[in-house]
């Protein structure tokens, strides 16, 4: 079992999750659909004004880079589909920044402590 902490900022650090009603809930729904197609389980999802924290459980066959690519590409495509007003906030461009933060969650930090961090 591998746990990853993935942080994805919105493009230009725009406050899309504050400015567009229901965008945070749509991200969570999209992630539940991703779980059905891939060996990925979203343990916790924390949405801030301009970025999202994901606590993800996955299998070793999916590299951290591919994990981030899967999450970012599918969530971006689907959020633009269900919330087209976000595209206007981002000047018709991409949803996520090119960068992201991903790290494994080891035994030094308990899963519960990481869940609390992502939630808050």
List the domain boundaries for the chain.
2-119
Kindly state the average pLDDT of the residues 68-90.
Answer: 93
Give the Cα separation of 84 and 106 in Å (integer). Answer: 38
CA angle 94, 8, 11 (to 5 degrees): 30
Range list of H helices, the chain: 16-19, 23-37, 64-82, 85-89, 111-119
**pLDDT at residue 109, as a whole number:** 58
The answer to whether the beta carbons of residues 56 and 67 sit under 8 Å apart is: yes
Q: Is the pLDDT of residue 120 over 80?
A: no
What is the reported pTM? 0.85
**Which one of 3.90.1150.10, 3.40.50.1460, 3.40.50.300, 3.30.70.1290 gives the CATH number of domain 2-119?**
3.30.70.1290
């Amino acid at each position: 079992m591998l746990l990853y902490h993935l942080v994805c900022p919105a493009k230009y650090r725009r406050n899309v999750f504050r400015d567009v009603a229901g965008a945070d809930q749509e991200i969570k729904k999209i992630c539940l659909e991703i779980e059905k197609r891939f060996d990925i389980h979203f343990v916790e999802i924390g949405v801030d004004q301009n970025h999202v924290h994901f606590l993800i459980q996955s299998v070793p066959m999916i590299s951290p880079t591919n994990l981030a690519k899967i999450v970012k590409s599918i969530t971006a495509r689907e959020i633009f589909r269900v919330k087209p007003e976000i595209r206007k906030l981002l000047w018709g461009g991409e949803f996520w920044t090119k960068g992201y933060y991903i790290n494994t969650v080891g035994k030094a930090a308990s899963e519960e402590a990481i869940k609390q961090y992502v939630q808050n």
